[in-house]
Structure 1
């Protein structure tokens, strides 16, 4: 009987030792899991800090892009206003020059008509002079009339010269007006080119702003390592 009791005690002692070993093994595993969980938590915290810093940087870049877009909008509006003012000035100047050219054209036509009339008169007087000279060969008393006709011819030639000078001045004025119109058109083309470049820069800034917003949204929707931390906790609770 005593031998059976002793064997029973040994068996119980052996069983207790096995339970202690299993408990130590479970304790070691639990400590390992706890260490891994702490490392995972620390890594998650570091990732979260990195994401927070990166998010702050992205938000600052987004604010800067917003400021750039506002600035480009203001520049575009200013350029558009300048173009409109230049276009109004060009149209006003073109209208003024058109009226001036129209008036000069009418005056030039009148001058041409006067020159033609004076030329016809000169030809008629020349014919009269030839006739008078023929008569003067027969009548010496007609010399006075010839002298008067010659004086009229000189006056007509002088008037013709003055008309030609006025016509030359009108042609020069017309050429100068065309030069002014070309200058205004060139300035208009330069302003339109500046406006086109500004609108292109504005489109690029809008694209960058859209891309930055997409990156920020993706960062906020995908926390990454936090899911791994939740899985470790579920595994530990099952054990």
Structure 2
């Protein structure tokens, strides 16, 4: 849907921009009161049903469901972020809003195009409300705080994919039929094969780097082995 942006920022927007700059300075270096931490991402992973231990095909299917739930939460938080940016742009116009938020105009157009009404029935919407409860009524500040939450949800999804990918490798190494593994994920066999190839290539590269001493503090298994009776 086309949108007509204001040609010049309104006095209200200029006040928001000044408040936003002062807020970012106060909460440097991130510019947010909300802190993105691994602990909170882990908490969000658990809130979506994530498990730290996974060993079976059934666990793999569960992890696929967890990732889908996290992806839906990402969309809700994205939509909430987009709503605040659009609120700012409605007063500031495209160029001034992009400049104030240190984004480009294409990003704001994408938010306008892809953003949907926030699904207020979700846990993610409640997390957004909790973050906004600490914010002044300034959409630029609110957008930035919500972005921190989005990054935390991304972190939760990354935890899920790490656990999932490790389990994929363990199941394949244990000789489980690849068709069974792909079926547990709900993927086509072709998609699974492409993903498995990437995982195996990444693992091989990591093992190569460890063996050659390229990873500080990590020594490859082969490098640690020495002939029986030889000097250390």
> Do both share a fold (TM > 0.5)?
no
* Higher Rg: 1
- The one of the two structures with greater contact order (alpha-carbon pairs below 8 A, sep at least 6) is 1
What is the TM-score of this pair, normalised by structure 2?
Answer: 0.32
What is the TM-score of this pair, normalised by structure 1?
Answer: 0.32
